[in-house]
Structure 1
Amino acid sequence: MAQVNRLDPLLAFWESLPDDDRRQLSLIHQTGNRLGIDLNTILQSLGNLARTKPKSRGLKDAVDHYLNLRASQNLRKSSYAQICLNLNQMVSRFSPIRCDQISSSMIENWFLGNKWQRSTIDGVIAKIGPFFSWCVREGYCQINPCGAVKRPRSDDSPPSIFTPPETKKLLQAALSYDPGLIPYLAIGLFAGVRPLEIERLTWLDISKRYVEINAAKAKSRKRRLVNLSTNLKEWLAFGGNLPLTNKRKRLAKILRLTGINWQPDIMRHSFASYHLALHQSADKTAFELGHRDSKMLFAHYRELVSFEAAKAYWNITPCKANQTG
Structure 2
Amino acid sequence: MPKRPQFTVVKTSEGWRVNVPASLAESGKRERYFHQTRDKAQQYASELREKYKQHGEAAAIIRPSLAEAATQAEKILKPWRISLVEAARMVAEIKERENASKPANEAIDAWLLACEGLRARTLDGYRQVSRKLKAAFNDTLLTSIGAEDIQNIIAPPGITGAAVLGRIRNARAFWRWAAKKGWCDADVFKAVEAPKNGRHQNEIAILTPTEAKCLLQVAEAHYPDAVASYALQLFAGIRVEELRRLEARHVTEGGIEMSADITKRGRRRHINPHPTLSAWLAIYPYSPCPNWREVDKACRRLAGWNLDSRLLEKQAAQAAAENGSEPEQLPVPTLGRWPQNALRHSHASYAVAAGAPLESLLFEFGHTQNPSVLREHYIGRASKKDAIEFFKIRPKGEEVPSIVAV
TM-score, scaled relative to structure 1? 0.68
1:206 aligned partner, one-letter code: V
**Contact 2:392–2:399 (Cα < 8 Å) also in 1:** no
Distance in 1 (alpha carbons) for counterparts of 2:166 and 2:377: 13
Map Cα deviations across residues 160-219 of structure 1 (whole Å, 9 max, x no partner).
53211332344456557765543212101112223343243222112445423334444x
The answer to whether structure 1 residue 187 and structure 2 residue 238 are counterparts is no
The answer to whether structure 1 residue 222 and structure 2 residue 269 are counterparts is no
Distance in 2 (alpha carbons) for counterparts of 1:303 and 1:286: 17
Map Cα deviations across residues 30-65 of structure 1 (whole Å, 9 max, x no partner).
x9xxxxxxxxxx99xx79x959x7432222221121
1:68 aligned partner, one-letter code: L
Q: Which position in structure 1 is the counterpart of 2:330?
A: none
Shift of 1:124: 0.5
Question: Which of 168, 173, 194 does residue 125 from structure 1 map onto?
Answer: 168
Question: Which of 249, 272, 287 does residue 204 from structure 1 map onto?
Answer: 249
More helix by share: 1
Map Cα deviations across residues 127-171 of structure 1 (whole Å, 9 max, x no partner).
111111112211222324443433333274665532113323444
The answer to whether structure 1 residue 266 and structure 2 residue 309 are counterparts is no
| CA-based RMSD | 4.9
Q: Which position in structure 2 is the counterpart of 1:138?
A: 181
Question: Which of 371, 383, 406 does residue 306 from structure 1 map onto?
Answer: 383
**Contact 1:213–1:225 (Cα < 8 Å) also in 2:** yes
Q: What secondary structure sits across from 2:124 in the alignment? A: helix
Q: What secondary structure sits across from 2:382 in the alignment? A: coil
Q: Which position in structure 2 is the counterpart of 1:152?
A: 195
Shift of 1:122: 0.6
Q: Percent identity?
A: 23
Distance in 1 (alpha carbons) for counterparts of 2:93 and 2:375: 49
**Contact 1:161–1:303 (Cα < 8 Å) also in 2:** no
Q: Which position in structure 2 is the counterpart of 1:37?
A: none
Question: Which of 97, 105, 129 does residue 140 from structure 2 map onto?
Answer: 97
2:171 aligned partner, one-letter code: I
**Contact 1:189–1:268 (Cα < 8 Å) also in 2:** yes
CA gap of 1:67–1:308, structure 2 versus 1, over 3 A, is same
2:117 aligned partner, one-letter code: Q
Instruction: Report how many aligned residue pairs link the two structures.
Output: 304
The answer to whether structure 1 residue 74 and structure 2 residue 151 are counterparts is no
Distance in 2 (alpha carbons) for counterparts of 1:290 and 1:314: 22
Unaligned runs of 5+ in 1: 32-41
Distance in 2 (alpha carbons) for counterparts of 1:293 and 1:101: 44
Distance in 1 (alpha carbons) for counterparts of 2:355 and 2:191: 40
Distance in 1 (alpha carbons) for counterparts of 2:137 and 2:273: 50
The answer to whether structure 1 residue 235 and structure 2 residue 265 are counterparts is no
Q: What secondary structure sits across from 1:68 in the alignment? A: helix
1:136 aligned partner, one-letter code: A
CA gap of 1:121–1:258, structure 2 versus 1, over 3 A, is closer
Alignment of 1:242-253 (within 5 A): 242-245=287-290, 247=292
Alignment of 1:47-66 (within 5 A): 54=97, 55-66=100-111
CA gap of 1:13–1:100, structure 2 versus 1, over 3 A, is farther
Distance in 2 (alpha carbons) for counterparts of 1:276 and 1:259: 27
